[in-house]
Every structure is written in structure tokens, then in C-alpha cells.
């Protein structure tokens, strides 16, 4: 392609709301045949809201929410923001937390000072609570499965050596996602859904946007998102990845073409070749059309 054509393409991209890192990016955009889509914040709005709190037997729902909110106040994750907003609305002020730590792809942990001592708090996947010897009892496990079947993302809450409840947040698909996915398929691309969330929720979202259950990779740890991209590449695929989160950055950098949601984190944007300013998947379709048109006419 001539430099002039590529520059024109880049300028046209900006008008469409596509920020292109360098003119050469259009070359890889043109040849992509597989598109891996992160779920939360990419296919869905990522604006989760608090749906439900379930306390373990003998525990108080408001206390479960208050403590979960306190811990999540230090996290930027969409799940965390929903819990904090819901907790402030329902229980008011939240206690201080010390020693906050994010356990990537699993949840968060920290210490809540109480009297002279402090209590270890954990919020996240049941496996993270299990690591702290806080397994979920049958009642909480059932509540979790029920919430997931209803399309909610449920996280477990534990402190002081015991699982104390679950908090359920719910996220909705972006209105434009089903159309975008059908158009991507129309352009000959194979859409794949990739998420750290569980299989039940992932399949519910996939069904809503028109992705087959066989094209869903769920329960994928952040580091393993890269492995999914690499495996597709080793099968000879030219892979685009669309994501928004810190946990997508490595996969975005590994993909032949990384597309970041402009509404996402800076880390994801930096790791990507293209930024979709409005965070609308339909603009990914525009980007691929633009690249084909720009390069097609001058080959």
C-alpha cells in the first residue's frame, strides 16, 4: 500500500471514531479471520448493578454488603464498582480497609481493623475463598448457581475464616453487540467469546449476542487469555482481540490485531493497535471494512 493511501485510511478512521496507532496497522486489520471478544465491558456494558445479597445462615445481609463494599472500594473492577455503589446506597458509610490486594482474575483481599485486631476479608471467586480456607456451604453454593442461571455474576464474601455470603451483580449486553457480531460474521470472521467469568454466565451472554456455545472460553485466568490467542495463532488463524481491561492487555498485545474499547483502561489502550473511541463493537466492523477498502483499492 502506498503511504498516502494508508494516511487517508488513518484519517478516515479518526472520523469513524477509530484511533489507529500507525498506518501499518491497517495491513493486519485486513487479513484478520478470527475475532476474540472479551465479555465484561466489551460485549456487555460492564456497568453492573447490585442485584442481590445472600447471607449464610446466622449472618446478616447488611453486614455482608457493608464489608464487601469496604473492601471493593479500593478496586476498579466493574463488579467492585457495582458493589460499592449498592453498599453505600443500602448501608451508608463503609469501614476503612488496610492492606488491600487485588488477586488478578480471582478477587480482592484486605484487612478490616476491628477493636485492636484486624480481620482478613476476601471477596471473589469461591476458589479464592477456598485458598483462605473459607469454603462455601451448600446453601451459599446453591444461591450462587441460582444467581448465575439468572445471568448474574455472583461473588463470595468471607472474613475471619468463614464464607459469610454472596453478592450478585448483573451486567447487560450492549444493545449494539448482536448486530456487530452478526456483521463480523458477515465479513467472514469467526467470533469467539473469552472471559474470566464462569461458564453459565458466559453462555447466557453468548446466546444473547449470537455466539455458539462451542465458541465460548470461560473461567479463563488473565494470563491464560494470551494462551487462547496463541493457540488460535498456532492453528494458522490471524487473530484480532477486542478488550477493555487490565486483564486483557497481554492478550491484546499478543493478538495480530489488538482493539481496545476507548471506554476501557489505559493499559488496554496502550497494548492495542486500534482504539474504538465510543466503546461500540460496531466500530470494529467499520475498522475491518475500512482496512479492506483502503488496502483493497491499491493492491
Residues that bind ligand ADP (CB under 6 A): 38-40, 72, 75, 77, 79-80, 105-108, 123-125, 153, 155, 195-197, 222, 245, 247
- Shorter beta-carbon distance to Mg ion: residue 40 or 294: 40
- Shorter beta-carbon distance to Mg ion: residue 91 or 228: 228
Smallest gap, in angstroms, from Cβ of residue 105 to ligand ADP? 4
- Select from ligand ADP, Mg ion, none the partner in contact with residue 97, using the beta carbon and a kind-dependent cut-off of 5 to 8 Å: none
**Of the candidates 241, 251, 150, 159, the residue with the CA atom closest to the CA atom of residue 201:** 150
Told to check if 69 binds Mg ion by CB under 5 A, we report no
The neighbouring-strand residues paired with 191 are 35
Do the beta carbons of residue 11 and residue 290 sit within 8 Å? no
Do the beta carbons of residue 21 and residue 252 sit within 8 Å? no
- Shorter beta-carbon distance to Mg ion: residue 126 or 279: 279
Q: Which of 38, 273, 280, 286 binds Mg ion (CB under 5 A)?
A: 38
- Shorter beta-carbon distance to Mg ion: residue 105 or 245: 245
Q: Which of 41, 126, 258, 262 binds Mg ion (CB under 5 A)?
A: 41
- Shorter beta-carbon distance to Mg ion: residue 40 or 75: 40
Q: Is 38 a catalytic residue?
A: yes
Give the pairing type, strands 49-55 and 34-38: unpaired
Give the pairing type, strands 98-103 and 18-20: unpaired
The neighbouring-strand residues paired with 190 are 34
Residue 98: is it exposed, middle or buried by C-beta count within 10 angstroms (0-12/13-18/19+)? exposed
- Select from ligand ADP, Mg ion, none the partner in contact with residue 151, using the beta carbon and a kind-dependent cut-off of 5 to 8 Å: none
Cα 70 to Cα 188: distance, rounded to the nearest angstrom? 47
Smallest gap, in angstroms, from Cβ of residue 210 to ligand ADP? 18
Stretch that binds Mg ion, among 68-76, 155-163, 241-249, 273-281 (CB under 5 A): 241-249
Determine the 3-state secondary structure of 117 from DSSP. Answer: strand
Catalytic annotation, pick one of 38, 244, 256, 273 = 38
For 160, residues 6+ apart whose C-beta sits below 8 A from its C-beta are 119, 120
Number of residues that bind Mg ion (CB under 5 A): 5
Smallest gap, in angstroms, from Cβ of residue 83 to ligand ADP? 7
Smallest gap, in angstroms, from Cβ of residue 248 to ligand ADP? 7
Told to check if 40 binds Mg ion by CB under 5 A, we report yes
Buried b (16+ CB within 10 A) or exposed e, 261-282: bbbbbebbbebbbbbbbebbbb
**Of the candidates 109, 164, 168, 99, the residue with the CA atom closest to the CA atom of residue 137:** 164
Smallest gap, in angstroms, from Cβ of residue 178 to ligand ADP? 18
Residues engaged in binding Mg ion (CB under 5 A): 38, 40-41, 244-245
Give catalytic residue positions.
Answer: 38
Amino acid at each position: 500500500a502506498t503511504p498516502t493511501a494508508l494516511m487517508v485510511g488513518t484519517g478516515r478512521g479518526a472520523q469513524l471514531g477509530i484511533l489507529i496507532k500507525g498506518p501499518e496497522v491497517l495491513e493486519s486489520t485486513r487479513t484478520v479471520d478470527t475475532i476474540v471478544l472479551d465479555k465484561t465491558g466489551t460485549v456487555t456494558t460492564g456497568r453492573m448493578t447490585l442485584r442481590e445479597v445472600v447471607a449464610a445462615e446466622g449472618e446478616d445481609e447488611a453486614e455482608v454488603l457493608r464489608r464487601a463494599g469496604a473492601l471493593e472500594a479500593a478496586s476498579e473492577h466493574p463488579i467492585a464498582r457495582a458493589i460499592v455503589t449498592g453498599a453505600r446506597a443500602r448501608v451508608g458509610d463503609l469501614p476503612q480497609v488496610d492492606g488491600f490486594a487485588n488477586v488478578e482474575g480471582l478477587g480482592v483481599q484486605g484487612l478490616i481493623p476491628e477493636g485492636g485486631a484486624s480481620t482478613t476479608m476476601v471477596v471473589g471467586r469461591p476458589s479464592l475463598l477456598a485458598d483462605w480456607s473459607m469454603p462455601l456451604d451448600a446453601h451459599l453454593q446453591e444461591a450462587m448457581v441460582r444467581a448465575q442461571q439468572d445471568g448474574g455474576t455472583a461473588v463470595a464474601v468471607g472474613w475471619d475464616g468463614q464464607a459469610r455470603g454472596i453478592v450478585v451483580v448483573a451486567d447487560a449486553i450492549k444493545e449494539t453487540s448482536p448486530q456487530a457480531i452478526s456483521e463480523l460474521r458477515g465479513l467472514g470472521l469467526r467470533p469467539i467469546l473469552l472471559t474470566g467469568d464462569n461458564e453459565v454466565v458466559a453462555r447466557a451472554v453468548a446466546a444473547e449476542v449470537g455466539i455458539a456455545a462451542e465458541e465460548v472460553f470461560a473461567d479463563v485466568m488473565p494470563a491464560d487469555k494470551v494462551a487462547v490467542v496463541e493457540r488460535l495463532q498456532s492453528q494458522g488463524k490471524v487473530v484480532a482481540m477486542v478488550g477493555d481491561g487490565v486483564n486483557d492487555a497481554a492478550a491484546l498485545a499478543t493478538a495480530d490485531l489488538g482493539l481496545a474499547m476507548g471506554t476501557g483502561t489505559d493499559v488496554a489502550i496502550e497494548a492495542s493497535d486500534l482504539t474504538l473511541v465510543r466503546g461500540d463493537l460496531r466500530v470494529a466492523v467499520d475498522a475491518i471494512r475500512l482496512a479492506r477498502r483502503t488496502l483493497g483499492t491499491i493492491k
